[in-house]
């Protein structure tokens, strides 16, 4: 180790420092007190406080009447405060102000009838306390789990939702979860409640890990922020040691590292950081003895003869040349007085033909299984040597972060088992990259890529992570898309989810939005009329916002534009069969082609005056109409049914014969004189 770099923000955060100081003041004032749960997730600090007079209780019922008790930085639910009051405890509240702010947000949200979504670790005391201040709520740990939760709860998509996040969560997890929420929920208020100190610490650790050959992270095993810190470092550095104290440091793992970084979680006291740093400085300053390289020299005849007479023992690794092949064994010249023999079945276990697996003249390495000096034969095993080599390869993969490939062979309660070149690798459920409640069986017989995270050769135990590789590959695909995206570019995508306003399509690591208006040229009401979740479709980029990470996609084929089809087929004066789709007071709208409608004005419906379009037409009627006008710019069409009808006959008043024209009773009869003046005789009226 040439250089040691220590993170600037390592150690106690404000909330933890405040709670420890309050504890020390309470002990000084009272002589002894209690802490409701471990004050912080650090055994050494808790032990030191216990020696000073603070005991840990797990429930209010364990307190003595009137005993002084400290509520830790993680906070507590309202019912806990009530229980403390009931037993007469004297409470000092050390809840972190950042956590208190979350309590206020969720309490107000619940009072307003909003559903609360909490992003965080379900069993963490901070999250458990937040839940106590909520009404209807749910806790979701990661993006995969969030997606599964929303799929199962479509009833909340349009309801008012308030989102908060555990103060020690990673920024990447929060962002991924929020992307899923924004796709489905139309009335969500998202509050970024990650502690700024936590974010700063994580960001600094990521940058430091990316520039170092190895990282040491100090923190409690049960500390959420410390665990996340180690995970973040593991994503950027192949060699990460997660320790609680100096004794756990493994110097051998730092021997090949040039630059080593050191950081610590928010619950790690300064004195532990100092101890670890001093130990690492000692390692750095140790003199490294360099052995002189040995020059190989040619062996003399006598030396070569002696080499052939050298005894061979079980377990020795040997090398030789294939000199003969039979149906049952392969003979190998080892350069000794014995002949090596390898069973043929070692080469044909997987159905491989023997002649395809090995040939005379091939050089093979194997391990000695049994020596028979009487017969001059040494039984060898290439399979065992290969297995040992694979173990070495697996061990090396932990150090250099090599991505390996294997097949999932079985599932169990805690995860799945992957066979990597014959070595059983256990992958915990949390590292499978599946949602928490997903069935592990869906991975069976699938080929997966994973990183080896832990090897214990003595116990034949190997642990790996599919999730680390998947996350890294997703990041690479995402960056590749953003680096090459352009308007009009086409992608083959998979429909991930549907909303009332469109469909979200995965185009290779990034989800883009296809608005409902871009799904079809025809009239549709729901995206599900065109696509379904899981469909593979070709889409093209309409627009994108690199800064906001948003992509608008199109699905309609430009060549299928119905207006283009209409103008190619019809012109003014053409007669077309049209379907009545809507009736209005001023006329009727008719579909000429799917996606192209025209207007038949009320005056153009019939060859006579009508009161309303419904007197003549009904939605769904198919009638012939003449195209009387086309507005190319506004894509408007005028239609006429009347133009195809015969003119209505002119109605004539009936003419009565003169003999029937007698003055009606009470009628006023005029006589016209020769000069044109008219005189009349009024009918007689009764007085």
* Active site (annotated) includes residue 486: no
The rounded distance, in Å, linking the Cα atoms of 482 and 505 is 15
In this structure, the strands spanning 329-333 and 317-325 are antiparallel
With the C-alpha atoms ordered 604, 607, 609, 614, is the resulting torsion angle positive or negative?
negative
Name the active-site residue from 61, 67, 126, 203. 126
With the C-alpha atoms ordered 315, 316, 320, 323, is the resulting torsion angle positive or negative?
negative
Do residues 639 and 649 touch, judged by C-beta distance below 8 A? Answer: no
CA neighbor of 118 nearest in space, from 177, 78, 172:
177
Angle between helices 97-111 and 125-132 (to 10 degrees): 30
Q: Which residues pair with 582 in a beta bridge?
A: 589
3-state helix, strand, coil in the chain (%, to 5): 35, 30, 35
With the C-alpha atoms ordered 168, 171, 176, 177, is the resulting torsion angle positive or negative?
positive
Give the DSSP per-residue string, 47-88.
Answer: HHHHHHTEEEESSGGGSPTT-EEEE-TT---HHHHHHHHHTT
CA neighbor of 640 nearest in space, from 626, 650, 622, 630:
626
Work out the burial of residue 520: count CB atoms within 10 Å of its CB; fewer than 13 is exposed, 13-18 middle, 19 or more buried: middle
662 C-beta neighbours (distance < 10 Å), count? 8
CA neighbor of 171 nearest in space, from 228, 97, 212:
228
DSSP 454: E
The rounded distance, in Å, linking the Cα atoms of 36 and 74 is 10
DSSP 157: T
CA neighbor of 257 nearest in space, from 203, 216, 204, 202:
216
The rounded distance, in Å, linking the Cα atoms of 259 and 21 is 35
Per-residue tokens: 662: 């007698």
Q: What positions carry a catalytic annotation?
A: 126
């Amino acid at each position: 180790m040439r250089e040691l770099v220590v993170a600037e923000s390592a150690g106690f955060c404000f909330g933890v420092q405040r709670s420890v100081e309050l504890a020390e003041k309470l002990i000084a004032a009272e002589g002894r007190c209690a802490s409701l749960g471990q004050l912080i997730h650090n055994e050494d600090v808790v032990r030191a406080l216990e020696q000073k007079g603070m005991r840990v209780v797990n429930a209010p019922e364990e307190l003595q009447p009137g005993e002084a008790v400290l509520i830790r930085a993680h906070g507590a639910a309202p019912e806990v405060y009530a229980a403390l009051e009931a037993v007469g405890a004297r409470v000092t509240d050390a809840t972190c102000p950042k956590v208190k702010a979350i309590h206020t947000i969720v309490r107000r949200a619940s009072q307003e009838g909003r559903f609360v979504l909490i992003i965080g670790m379900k069993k963490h005391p901070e999250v458990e306390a937040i839940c106590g201040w909520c009404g209807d709520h749910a806790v979701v740990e990661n993006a995969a789990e969030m997606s599964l939760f929303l799929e199962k709860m479509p009833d909340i998509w349009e309801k008012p939702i308030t989102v908060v996040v555990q103060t020690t969560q990673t920024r990447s997890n929060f962002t991924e979860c929020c992307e899923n929420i924004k796709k489905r929920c139309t009335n969500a208020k998202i509050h970024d409640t990650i502690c700024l100190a936590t974010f700063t610490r994580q960001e600094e650790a990521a940058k430091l890990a990316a520039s170092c050959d190895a990282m040491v992270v100090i923190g409690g095993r049960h500390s959420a922020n410390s665990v996340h810190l180690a995970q973040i470092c593991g994503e950027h550095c192949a060699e990460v040691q997660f320790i609680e104290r100096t004794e756990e440091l493994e110097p051998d793992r730092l021997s090949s590292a040039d630059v080593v970084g050191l950081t610590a979680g928010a619950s790690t006291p300064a004195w532990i950081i100092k101890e670890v740093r001093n130990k690492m400085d000692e390692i750095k300053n140790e003199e490294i003895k360099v052995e002189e390289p040995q020059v190989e020299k040619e062996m003399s005849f006598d030396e070569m003869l002696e080499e052939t007479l050298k005894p061979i023992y079980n377990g020795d690794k040997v090398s030789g040349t294939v000199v003969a092949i039979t149906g049952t064994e392969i003979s190998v010249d080892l350069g000794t007085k014995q002949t090596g023999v390898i069973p043929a079945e070692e080469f044909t276990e997987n159905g491989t033909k023997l002649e395809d697996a090995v040939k005379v003249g091939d050089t093979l390495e194997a391990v000695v299984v049994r020596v028979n000096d009487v017969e001059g034969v040494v039984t060898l095993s290439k399979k065992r040597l290969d297995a040992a080599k694979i173990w070495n390869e697996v061990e090396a993969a932990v150090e250099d972060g090599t991505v390996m490939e294997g097949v999932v062979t079985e599932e169990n309660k805690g995860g799945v088992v992957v066979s990597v070149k014959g070595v059983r690798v256990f992958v915990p459920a949390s590292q499978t990259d599946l949602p928490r409640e997903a069935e592990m069986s869906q991975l069976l017989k699938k080929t997966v890529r994973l990183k080896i995270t832990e090897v214990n050769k003595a116990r034949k135990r190997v642990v790996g992570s599919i999730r680390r590789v998947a996350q890294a590959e997703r990041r690479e695909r995402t960056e590749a898309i953003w680096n090459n995206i352009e308007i009009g570019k086409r992608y083959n995508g998979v429909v991930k989810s549907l909303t009332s306003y469109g469909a979200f399509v995965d185009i290779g690591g990034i989800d883009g939005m296809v608005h409902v208006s871009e799904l079809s040229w025809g009239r549709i009401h729901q995206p599900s009329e065109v696509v379904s979740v899981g469909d593979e479709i070709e889409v093209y980029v309409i627009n994108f916002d690199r800064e906001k990470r948003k992509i608008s996609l199109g699905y309609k084929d430009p060549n299928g534009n119905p207006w283009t089809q209409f103008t190619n087929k019809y012109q003014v004066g053409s007669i077309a069969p049209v379907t009545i789709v809507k009736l209005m007071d001023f006329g009727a709208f008719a579909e000429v082609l799917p996606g192209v409608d025209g207007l038949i004005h009320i005056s153009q419906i019939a060859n006579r005056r009508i009161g309303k379009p419904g007197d003549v037409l009904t939605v769904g009627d198919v009638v012939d109409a003449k195209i009387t006008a086309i507005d190319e710019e506004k894509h408007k069409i005028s239609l006429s049914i009347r133009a195809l009808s015969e003119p209505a006959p002119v109605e004539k008043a009936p003419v009565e014969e003169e003999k029937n024209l007698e003055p009606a009773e009470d009628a006023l009869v005029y006589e016209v004189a020769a000069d044109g003046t008219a005189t009349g005789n009024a009918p007689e009226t009764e007085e």
